[in-house]
Amino acid sequence: MVNHIIINNRKIGKSEPVYIIAEMSANHNQDFEQAVRIMEAAQEAGADAVKLQTYTPDTITIDCNNQYFQIGKGTIWEDHNLYALYGEAFTPWEWQPKLKKIADDLGLDLFSSPFDHTAVDFLEEMDTLMRLLHQQNGRFRNSSRFFGQICL
């Protein structure tokens, strides 16, 4: 039984040093320079990798204003629908090759969680280094294609 995985020639497992992944998520606030600062801060803090999320509002929801697509009260997204939230939160796809280069320059691994087929195709076009067997909350259990966490 294998009790470890290997990421870019580094063994990750129970008896190995901790592998730290910093989640960027929407913390870039649609500002590329902020995304770069997050990556630099992650590297300075000792992270081994940064994780992005790859989706667009159109691939994750519909632009609908009925009650089922509204954000609840008491949050910073109050009075927004899901489409608007994801429009403000997503990492622009044109940034991702640039962020990959910056991650490489900083000595960081860069991961992304694809949310649909188009995201997987996009990440594969970026010459991904490897795939981790990690499904996104069971979203694609019935898919005939592999969907998982992709290391760029």
- Mean pLDDT throughout 27-56? 96
Average pLDDT, the chain: 82
Contact status, residue 85 vs residue 77, Cβ threshold 8 Å: yes
Q: Residues 60-113: pLDDT tens digits?
A: 999 998 888 999 888 888 888 999 999 999 999 999 999 999 999 999 999 888
* pLDDT value at 116 more than 90: no
Longest dimension (CA), the chain: 51
What is the DSSP annotation of 67-125? GGGBPPTTSTTTT-BHHHHHHHHSPPGGGHHHHHHHHHHHT-EEEEEE-SHHHHHHHHH
**φ and ψ of 20, to 5 deg:** -100, 125
In our burial notation (b when 16+ CB lie closer than 10 A, e otherwise), range 38-74 reads bbeebbeeebbbbbbbbbbbeebbeeeeeeebbeeee
The share of the chain scoring above pLDDT 90, in percent, equals 51
Identity (one letter) of the amino acid at 147? F
Q: pTM of the full predicted structure?
A: 0.79
Name the residue with higher pLDDT: 123 or 128. 123
Give the integer Cα–Cα distance in Å for 120 and 111.
12
pLDDT band at 133 (very low <50, low <70, confident <90, very high): very low
Whether residue 131 has pLDDT greater than 80: no
- Segment 12-24 shows an average pLDDT of 92
| Of residues 76 and 33, more confidently modeled | 33
Percent of the chain with pLDDT over 70: 83
